[in-house]
Amino acid sequence: MLAYVTRIIVRASFAALNTAAATPSYVTDLQAEHK
């Protein structure tokens, strides 16, 4: 669980730094995690 949360935080930070490019792949990755 901790690794999962950490990964979300890392991806959220990356998305915040490069929102336009990162957000679509971030959302896709999140959806993939939940399947």
In tens, the pLDDT along 3-22 reads 999 999 998 888 777 775 65
Whole-prediction pTM value? 0.42
Residue 25 to residue 11: CA distance in whole angstroms: 10
* Token pair 């915040």 in the structure block, residue: 16
Is residue 34's pLDDT more than 60?
A: yes
φ, ψ for residue 14 (rounded to 5)?
Answer: -65, -45
Residue 15 to residue 27: CA distance in whole angstroms: 10
DSSP for 1-35? -HHHHHHHHHHHHHHHHSHHHHHHHHHHHHHHHH-
Is residue 27's pLDDT more than 80?
A: no
